[in-house]
Amino acid sequence: MWSWRQWEDEIQRRRRERRDKCRERILSMDDAKGRKTAAVIDLKKHRALWEDIEDVLVSRSRRHEKRIPLEKVKAGLIASGKLHG
């Protein structure tokens, strides 16, 4: 059987765990209508997620650029010595 002090310690420990989990989450900002408009993330913990977001942004910014066929890219890499065919 636990003493009152042990119960209080356990409650405090659980509160700390909940608080720490909240810090790990990704926080979102809402506009006046309740729509999510921004996010705050911990870059140390969510670096891979940020890199994925960054890749999508770069890809979207380049969507109107002229594409180069894969065979032409390979031929150029072989000619420059960066790829052995």
Helix (H, G, I), strand (E, B) or coil at 38: strand
Shortest CA distance to 20 belongs to which of 45, 37, 43?
45
pLDDT tens sequence across 24-79 = 677 888 999 989 899 888 888 788 888 998 999 999 999 999 999 999 999 999 99
Would you say the pTM of this structure is higher than 0.75? no
Amino acid (1-letter code) at residue 32: A
Judge contact between 26 and 41, C-beta under 8 A.
yes
Paired tokens of 8: 């209080």
Render 39-72 in DSSP notation, one character per residue: EE--TTTSHHHHHHHHHHHHHHHTTTSPP--HHH
